Homo-oligomer: A and B are copies of this chain.
């Protein structure tokens, strides 16, 4: 069972959370965390609600107090995990070298961070990969389930990206389309290479991937 922890009992209005509020938040997190681990262990279709509540240590009925059904739960997990991965990748892009570096180096660091994330957790890849795409952004931006914090983080991801372009004096017609194209490119080719070793191993493919991304940047530059 994934540990329940809540170091900062402050609710979204900045007020101190009541014991009940804290408890509810923990139950919700317990469900999310344990469902996630089950999804990547057994796959979404093979995970039952019974599995989830058992591992989370709550009663069956409790599940339905927090989520409409298994799909509702999945949507939230995919969104949260995708943001996590992207933030990590951006972090990597900015900090990979201490001294000033070219845009190309930054992009390579960005894509490698995503790929390593997946490689380190092949199981996670199967669950997230095909969902880590532009759709995630719109989903969170519009969903009334996602809280303010989630939305903020998405904007962070995008703004970070813009900042990096700016620092490198890179200009293009539509940065959104550029980011979208890059993410889809990394994700789709990386998936095949990691999961299927097709058409070759990830290590063999990486140079092609970097070269490909570089060329896309050039192609969309004004």
Contact = CB atoms under 8 A, between A and B. Distances in A.
A34 interface: no
Q: How many of these chains are in the complex?
A: 4
A60 interface: no
Contact of A189 (B181, B208, B212): B181
A196 to B, nearest CB: 5
Nearest to A176: B199
A211 B219 contact: yes
B189 A180 contact: yes
Best-buried of A138, A200, A208, A220 by chain B (most CB within 10 Å): A208
Interface string A158-185: 0000000000000000001100110011
Interface in A168-222: 176-177, 180-181, 184-185, 187-189, 192, 196, 198-200, 205, 208, 211-212, 214-216, 218-220
Contacts of A198: 133-135, 137-138, 180
A184 B177 contact: no
Contacts of A220: 208, 211-212
Contacts of A187: 188
Which of A45, A187, A188, A214 has the most chain B CB within a 10 Å cutoff?
A: A188
B188 A134 contact: no
A192 B45 contact: no
A215 B185 CA distance: 13
A130 interface: yes
A219 B216 CA distance: 9
Interface string A117-159: 0000000000000100111011000000000000000000000
A98 to B, nearest CB: 29
9 contacts: A45-B45, A133-B192, A134-B192, A134-B199, A180-B199, A184-B188, A185-B188, A212-B216, A215-B218
